[in-house]
Amino acid sequence: MEICFHYSDCEGQKNLLNALTSIAFGYDEIVIVCVGTDRVSGDSLGPMIGTLLLEECRHVNVYGTLHSPVHAQNLAETIIQVNQAHPGAFIIAVDACLGRAANIEKISFSRKPLKPGTGVSKDLPEVGQVNIQGIVNVGGFMPHLVIQNTRMNTIYNMARVIAGTLAQTVIAHRNFYQVFRLKRA
């Protein structure tokens, strides 16, 4: 299942929420790993999502915020930490990516692990069962320079939409799972 929509498309947001809640149904808990760094504007999407998500939904398992980002240097360590602290959890990985000019400001969802760093030729470990990526700028020639010159307005608007959708997913999962557990008892 692949979903791709402009961040202002409400129908796309609903489709993403429906996909996430239906997949999360079989899991006891949800963990969100927001990959990126606050030192590069285009790569700050993940940490900004993590920060906004914690502001909106206090009881969420989130790794990667503006205060404590998950980036290339600590990704492998964070994955080990997540797997030890939350065995069997549904892990949603979030990151920024580069793409075609026509896809800038679009949010992409895929039912496969996130392979971070591919846009800037880094070989990093995969994370998550599903991934959400925000296409923040054009890929191709000199990706390091392009990602450093990404508009914060784009990052902020996409982060608000993704964080809001993830917060709704976590809240729906917690409420449904509690009711579901009561019925099984």
How does DSSP assign the chain, residue by residue? -EEEEETT-HHHHHHHHHHHHHHHTT-S-EEEEEB--TTSGGG-HHHHHHHHHHHH-SS-EEE--SSS-B-TTTHHHHHHHHHHHSTT-EEEEEEEEEE-GGGTTEEEEESS-B-TTGGGT-----B-SEEEEEEEEE-SSSHHHHHHT--HHHHHHHHHHHHHHHHHHHHHHHHHHHHHHHHH-
Return the pLDDT at 36: 95
- pTM comes to 0.91
- Each residue's pLDDT tens digit, 39-76: 988 899 999 999 999 999 888 999 999 999 999 999 99
Return the pLDDT at 175: 80
Domains and CATH numbers, the chain: 2-184 (3.40.50.1450)
Return the pLDDT at 178: 58
Residues of the chain with pLDDT under 50: 182-185
Return the pLDDT at 185: 47
Return the pLDDT at 138: 86
